[in-house]
Structure formats: structure tokens, C-alpha cells
């Protein structure tokens, strides 16, 4: 098989920091809150909190925990993104609800999720934060007006939503001693914690196409890079089939390697500009090549010249060691080549 793996060495990277936390703050007024067992939020048992009382709800998520979910358009533009929990790690770090002058910390999350869905005329955020005590949780869904739409559907994007079209927010607090349930009516939301400013990685197809014998893509950003950086792509190739002249079987073969491209400060196009997937087996071969690839742009990260020249290096790095506080969401593609 004529695939030359390009392996990334951690020591050759120049970067600072790892990961980031994203803070979401929602403000508004309460509704239909009933205290079953108090005192909580400054009220006694079996009391009803007046509906005009203000609240501040703060969620904090870690973008390196759990599992990143991204749905993209054909050009790689992000349509929907989020972070969901896995069995070992939940992305939710904290959820605190303050009503009036009294607050409630929901504690450690065992099951949390944040999702941003974007469309032509609408945008919605959904949050879920559950603790080990299944009676202690809070969820919110915020629908934003069209004036708040941005071009990038990245859930980490910093912005302030001054207009909320509609929303729902329910909660239940319970620590075995006090308990309360109710609803919140959000009026404003801010998202902060990362330095993305509308940046995203995308690509154009310049030759061939998905599931064809050749697919050439051109990497590009949606806006010029402030600091410069690199696109790093992890590629897994799995092959089965036979080769001439005697139809010798190809032992089921799988390899994973990394590739990288530089993007200079103030520019949008990768150097070199293209990435290609192609059938490298000789005429008369018969089989299937499945390629799975995931790429991200890392702002402010430089790479060794060897890697730029597509020279194989001695060992492969753990791509998770790269910092994500200025990284775009990953673009993932799968293509199947029949030969």
C-alpha cells in the first residue's frame, strides 16, 4: 500500500495551555416555584416563591470532557455542535442557581450535555445537568431570535444574546434534606470562555469527490487567522481486497497517521492548500478502502518544517495533547473507495 504516514512529534509543537472552560450565564425571572422542604432560596417549607423574583443561572462546561458532537454541511461548515457526557467523564463542571440573594449549587454532574443547533432562521441552545441524586437536576432550552445568529454553529462561540425568542427551563433541587421544583423564564444569555470570534475550519472540493477514486480538498478558514496556526488531521485507512497478478489477498490492513498544514497569520488558506484521498493500488487490484479523517485548526500552534514537507517522523503524538482553547471544532469525513 502506497500511503506514507506523516507522524506528528509532540516535542516539535509550540503552544501554550490545554483545553478551556465555557461559562454560560442565563438571567430572567422565576415562575411556579414550590418549596417542598425548606429552607432553600431563603424560603420555608411549603412556600411559593413570587413569580417576579429575578434569577441568575450559571453553567460551566469543560470542552475536553465527554464527547464532541459536530454536524457539518458538505463544505465542512458547522450546522450543529455540542458536548455530551460519556460513562467516565461528564463535561458539566458546575451549575449554580441564584434566586434573589440565595443560591443553590447543584454539585458534581454525572450526566451533562450542551447542544447548539443553527438554522436559517433560528438558533437554539440546550443544556442538561444531572447529579448522582436523580432528583437534583436542571435543564434549559433557549431559542434565540434571528438577530443573534452567527455564521458559525460552534457551541463555544462567545456572544451575548440580547433577544430570546422563547425558552423553557425546569429544575429540581434535592439533597435529601431540602427540596424544591419550578420553572425559570430566561430573558438574556451570555456565552464566554474561548477566543474563537467566529473562526471555523472548512474545505472546498477541487477534484473528484466523496467515495470517488480521488478526492482533493482545499483547507480554508472562514476568516483570516489572527496568530497563524496549523490544521492537524488524523487519518485512519482500512483496506481489504486482492492484488495482481495472482489475486493475492490483502491482509485486512489498518493504519492511522497524522498530517498537518500551516496557515500564516492574516491568511485563510492552508500551505500547501490541498489534502487528497486516492486509490494507490495497481490496475487489476480489487477491494475496498475506507478512510476516516478528523481535522481541526489550532490557532497559535506551530509545527516542525519536517512535517510540512511530508517527511515521516519517528513516533506518533497524542493529538489530544494539543490545546483546544483556540482550536476550531473538528471536521470529520468518511469516504469509501472501491478499486
How long a stretch of residues is the chain? 339
Domain assignment present for residue 2? The answer is no
Domain endpoint, select from 147, 177, 192: 192
Q: What is the pLDDT of residue 162?
A: 80
* Final residue of a structural domain among 192, 219, 239: 192
Residue with the three cell numbers 477491494: 287
The rounded distance, in Å, linking the Cα atoms of 237 and 2 is 12
Residue 107 has pLDDT above 90, yes or no: yes
108 and 141 within one domain: yes
Q: What's the pLDDT score for residue 329?
A: 83
289, 311: one domain:
yes
pTM: 0.70
Residue 109, domain extent? 21-192
Closest listed residue to residue 3, CA positions, set 334, 216, 258, 295:
258
Residue 91: per-residue pLDDT: 93
Does residue 171 share a domain with residue 233? no
Specify which of 130-144, 247-261, 322-336 reaches the highest per-range mean pLDDT.
130-144
Instruction: Say whether both 137 and 208 belong to one domain.
Output: no
Asked if 181 and 201 sit in the same domain, the reply is no
Give the span between the Cα atoms of 117 and 137, in whole angstroms.
22
Please report the pLDDT score of residue 245 as a whole number. Answer: 81
Q: How many domains does the chain have?
A: 2
Shared-domain flag, residues 167 and 278: no
Could you tell me which of 28, 69, 27, 38 has the C-alpha nearest to residue 332? 69
- Reported as a single tens digit per residue, the pLDDT across 289-326 is 999 998 989 998 887 554 554 434 333 455 666 777 78
Last residue of a domain, one of 192, 217, 242: 192
Using CA atoms, how far apart are residues 153 and 79, in angstroms rounded to an integer? 5
* pLDDT above 60 (res 4): no
- Is 3 inside a domain boundary? no
Beta-strand (E) ranges in the chain?
A: 21-37, 48-49, 54-62, 67-72, 78-84, 92-99, 102-105, 109-118, 123-131, 137-144, 159-161, 164-174, 179-192, 201-208, 214-221, 229-243, 248-263, 269-278, 286-299, 331-338
Contacts of 337 (CB under 8 A, 6+ apart): 211, 212, 213, 277, 278, 279, 288, 289, 290, 291
* DSSP 8-state code for residue 10: G
Q: Categorize the per-residue pLDDT at 10 as very low, low, confident or very high, splitting at 50, 70 and 90.
A: very low
- Per the prediction, the chain carries an average pLDDT of 83
Residues 327-338: what's their mean pLDDT? Answer: 87
Amino acid at each position: 500500500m502506497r500511503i506514507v504516514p506523516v507522524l506528528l512529534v509532540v516535542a516539535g509543537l509550540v503552544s501554550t495551555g490545554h483545553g478551556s472552560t465555557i461559562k454560560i450565564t442565563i438571567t430572567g425571572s422565576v415562575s411556579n416555584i414550590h418549596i417542598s422542604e425548606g429552607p432553600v432560596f431563603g424560603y420555608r417549607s411549603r412556600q411559593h416563591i413570587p413569580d417576579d423574583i429575578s434569577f441568575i443561572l450559571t453553567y460551566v462546561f469543560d470542552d475536553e470532557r465527554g464527547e464532541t458532537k459536530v454536524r457539518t454541511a458538505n463544505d465542512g461548515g458547522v450546522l450543529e455542535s455540542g458536548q455530551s457526557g460519556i460513562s467516565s467523564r461528564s463535561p458539566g463542571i458546575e451549575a449554580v442557581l441564584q434566586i434573589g440573594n440565595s443560591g443553590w449549587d447543584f454539585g458534581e454532574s454525572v450526566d451533562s450535555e450542551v447542544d447548539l443547533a443553527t438554522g436559517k432562521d433560528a438558533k437554539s441552545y440546550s443544556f442538561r445537568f444531572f447529579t448522582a441524586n436523580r432528583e437534583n437536576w436542571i435543564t434549559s432550552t433557549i431559542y434565540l431570535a434571528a438577530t443573534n445568529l452567527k455564521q458559525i454553529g460552534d457551541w463555544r462561540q462567545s456572544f451575548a444574546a440580547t433577544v430570546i425568542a422563547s425558552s423553557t427551563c425546569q429544575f429540581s433541587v434535592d439533597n435529601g434534606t431540602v427540596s424544591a421544583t419550578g420553572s425559570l423564564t430566561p430573558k438574556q444569555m451570555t456565552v464566554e470562555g474561548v477566543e474563537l470570534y467566529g473562526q471555523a475550519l472548512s474545505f472546498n472540493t477541487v477534484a473528484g469527490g466523496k467515495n470517488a477514486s480521488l478526492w482533493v480538498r482545499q483547507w480554508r478558514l472562514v476568516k483570516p487567522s489572527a496568530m497563524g496556526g496549523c490544521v492537524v488531521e488524523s487519518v485512519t485507512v482500512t483496506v481489504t481486497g486482492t492484488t495482481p497478478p495472482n489475486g493475492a489477498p490483502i491482509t485486512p490492513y489498518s493504519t492511522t497517521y497524522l498530517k498537518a498544514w500551516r496557515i500564516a497569520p492574516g491568511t485563510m488558506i492552508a500551505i500547501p492548500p490541498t489534502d487528497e484521498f486516492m486509490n494507490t493500488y495497481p490496475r487489476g487490484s480489487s477491494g475496498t478502502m475506507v478512510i476516516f479523517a478528523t481535522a481541526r485548526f489550532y490557532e497559535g500552534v506551530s509545527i516542525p518544517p519536517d512535517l510540512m514537507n511530508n517527511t515521516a517522523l519517528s513516533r506518533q503524538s497524542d493529538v489530544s495533547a494539543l490545546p483546544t482553547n483556540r482550536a476550531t471544532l473538528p471536521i470529520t469525513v468518511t469516504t469509501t473507495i472501491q478499486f
